[in-house]
Amino acid sequence: MTHPTNLTGFNTRAIHVGQSPDPTTGATIPPIYVSSTYTQDGLGQHRGYEYGRGDNPTREALEAALASLEDGDFAVTFASGMAAGDSILRMLKPGDEVVAGLDLYGGVYRLLETVYRPHHHTQVRYIDLTRIDAVPASLSEKTRILWVETPSNPLLQVADIQALATVAHESGALLVVDNTFASPYLQNPLHWGADLVVHSMTKYIAGHSDAIGGAVLGRDPSLGEHLRFIRNAAGATLGPFEAWLILRGLKTLGVRMDRHVANAERVADFLAHHPAVARVYYPGHWTEEAGRIVARQMRAPGGMVSFEVHSALAPDLAAMGRLFTRFRVFSLAESLGGVESLVGHPATMTHAALPAFVRSERGIRDQLIRLSVGIEDYADLEADLRLALDALLEA
Ligand SMILES: *Cc1c(COP(=O)(O)O)cnc(C)c1O
């Protein structure tokens, strides 16, 4: 599928790259090609498409748009964010090492600990990647991958991508950045020297909590070829319906993110001034250094806000449980990045896969609450939070 190359603005590219009118019918929107196979004109004479696990035009339209938005030369989509991450880890050989950030998506931690460490003899180390001075000493000649999530989940800490890329490359490792929380609209890690970017498209990119998908993006064509090979060989392919839904969501990523950020900034500010709240986590707010990193590598801090309520007001899980029943606009749910606001409890939901001692080591307390701030009217969000938190003070 051809696409115009003179498109510069983010929103214009999101709407047009890879999405020229269908050459056969003129359909303005890329059709959902559901065919699992393609009829060939003769022996060895196919038209670039042979079998749906490997090739699909709807998926290619999405990949062209994504690559453009993430400033990459290729995008390879997968059936989920986990499958995307797994396809990167499948490049490892036994004995290779992964160094990952402490504050890591629970599913990635589980994959490393229950699949790669025991079954692939991968060495795995977790370090605080926000303390850049200490990182070089933690890498060895066995380190093949440095894996960072920034902003991180659930504490929304930020790491300096450019500095990490330098450290990784000095010891011959690839820097992989999980860019799910920022989305391509707020941060482009390839621009700062990352080798691969991984996305759970399930979140902001799809944006409507109605599709599961993942993607890996990069510039080195040999990495792109390898990822495509793994996808076809292992088969964690993104289906055409999901590709189409995600492409539909992608068109409005920019306008949605502007609104997520506007609401989240106000929510973070409201929480910081509420007497039931002990601490607010929002990218860049924690230290001056973090503020500088956000100002340099992000266009805005994003739509996620985490906070802790005072343990004296909610001393145990039962009290936290009561608090979670009071939300009316925020839905109690896993996931993030949809238009609707969600509230989650990392200790028992997204990060339940971490052993309790690991959670406490990482500062994920029972009093921690994570918000995915949606694009509803701000006044309704604030009223919902106020009602729930005021009840804590009255109890
Ligand atoms: C959700 C998520 C994943 C996993 O993606 P799925 O699409 O759920 O498989 C990985 N990393 C981060 C940061 C996520 O939020």
Q: Is the C-beta atom of 200 inside 6 A of ligand 1? A: yes
Q: Which of 236, 150, 248, 157 has the alpha carbon at shortest distance from 205?
A: 248
User: Cβ(371)–Cβ(306) under 8 Å?
Assistant: yes
Same domain, 369 and 317: yes
Sheet holding 342-344, edge to edge: 277-281, 304-309, 368-372, 342-344, 331-332
CB atoms within 10 A of CB 278: 16
Residue 367 has pLDDT above 50, yes or no: yes
Residues 276 and 238 placed together within one structural domain of the fold: no
Give one DSSP letter per residue of 58-125, joined into a string: HHHHHHHHHHHHTT-SEEEEESSHHHHHHHHHTT--TT-EEEEESS--HHHHHHIIIIIHHHH--EEE
Ligand 1 in reach of 242 Cβ (< 6 A): no
Per residue in 36-76, pLDDT tens?
A: 999 999 999 999 999 999 999 999 999 999 999 999 999 99
Residue linked to tokens 């694009």: 375
The pLDDT of residue 286 is: 77
Point out the residues that are catalytic.
Answer: 53, 105, 178, 203
Measured by CA distance, the residue closest to atom 5 of ligand 1 is: 81
Which residue(s) pair with 196 in the sheet?
176, 218
Paired tokens of 106: 């629970």
Segment among 91-100, 134-143, 166-175, 349-358 with least mean pLDDT? 349-358
Return the minimum-mean-pLDDT range out of 23-27, 145-149, 192-196: 23-27
pLDDT above 90 covers a percentage of the chain that reads 91
**Residue range 291-312: mean pLDDT, rounded:** 97
Residue nearest atom 4 in ligand 1 by C-alpha distance = 81
pLDDT (tens digit per residue) in 145-156: 999 999 998 999
Q: Would you call the peptide bond into 346 cis, given omega within 30 degrees of 0 as the criterion?
A: no
Q: Tell how far the Cα of 200 is from the centroid of ligand 1, in angstroms.
A: 5
Name the residue at shortest CA distance from atom 1 of ligand 1: 200
Instruction: Kindly give the distance from the C-alpha atom of residue 82 to the centroid of ligand 1, in angstroms, as a whole number.
Output: 6
Higher confidence at residue 352 or residue 204? 204
Ligand 1 and 202: CB distance under 6 A: yes
By most ligand atoms within 8 Å of CB, the mutation choice from 87, 197, 203, 210 for ligand 1 is 203
Residues 120 and 52 both lie in one domain: yes
**How far is 347 from 311, CA to CA, in rounded Å?**
14
**pLDDT-above-70 percentage for the chain:** 98
CA separation for the pair 306, 154 (Å, rounded): 7
Is 214 near ligand 1, meaning CB less than 6 Å away? Answer: yes
Domain boundary among 222, 250, 278: 250
Q: Which domain holds residue 238?
A: 10-250
**Does a cis peptide bond (omega within 30 degrees of 0) precede residue 151?**
yes
Point out the domain boundary residue: 250, 280, 299: 250
Buried-exposed string 222-254: b where 16+ CB fall within 10 A, e elsewhere: ebbebbbebbeeeebbbbbebbbbbbbbbbbbb
State how far the Cα of 172 lies from the Cα of 155, in Å rounded to an integer: 29
Q: How many Cβ atoms sit within 10 Å of the Cβ of residue 5? A: 8
Report the CATH number that the domain containing residue 244 is assigned in CATH: 3.40.640.10
CA–CA distance, 183 with 299 (Å, rounded to integer): 11
Per-residue confidence (pLDDT) for residue 284, from 0 to 100: 85
Is residue 84, in this structure, part of any structural domain at all?
yes
Domain count for the chain:
2
pLDDT given for residue 31 in this prediction? 95
For 279, the token pair is: 């601490």
**342 and 277 housed in the same domain:** yes
Contact 84, 127 (CB under 8 A): no
Distance 217 CA to ligand 1 centre (A): 15
Tell me which of 88, 103, 105 to substitute to probe ligand 1's pocket, judged by most ligand atoms within 8 Å of the beta carbon: 105
Ligand 1 pocket residue status of 86, Cβ below 6 Å: no
The pLDDT assigned to 5 comes to: 53
Shared-domain flag, residues 195 and 57: yes
Q: pLDDT band for position 350 (50/70/90)?
A: confident
In this structure, what CATH number is given to the domain that contains residue 339?
A: 3.90.1150.10
Which residue's C-alpha comes closest to atom 2 of ligand 1?
200
Q: Is the CB of 203 under 6 A from ligand 1?
A: yes
The CA 172 to ligand 1 mean position distance, Å, reads 27
Same domain, 206 and 355: no
Statement to judge: residues 245 and 306 lie in one domain = no
Q: Residue of the nearest CA to atom 8 in ligand 1?
A: 81
Average pLDDT, stretch 219-224? 98
Distance 351 CA to ligand 1 centre (A): 12
Query: pLDDT, tens digit, for every residue of 122-132?
Result: 999 999 999 99
Q: How confident is the model at residue 17 (pLDDT cuts 50, 70, 90)?
A: very high
Q: How confident is the model at residue 2 (pLDDT cuts 50, 70, 90)?
A: very low
Q: Are 99 and 358 in contact (CB under 8 A)?
A: no
Residue 354 has pLDDT above 90, yes or no: no
107 touches ligand 1 (CB under 6 Å)? yes
Mean pLDDT over 327-347 rounds to: 97
Is 206 found in the same domain as 85? yes
Q: Which helix (H) or strand (E) holds 174?
A: strand 174-178
Asked if 30 and 22 count as a contact pair (C-beta separation under 8 A), the reply is yes
Same domain, 233 and 261: no
Helical axes 221-234 vs 81-89, angle rounded to 10°: 110
Kindly give the distance from the C-alpha atom of residue 21 to the centroid of ligand 1, in angstroms, as a whole number.
Answer: 32
Residue 130: predicted pLDDT: 93
Q: What is the pLDDT of residue 33?
A: 96
pTM of the model: 0.96
In the block, tokens 């995008």 appear at 75
Regarding whether 332 and 200 lie in a shared domain, the answer is no
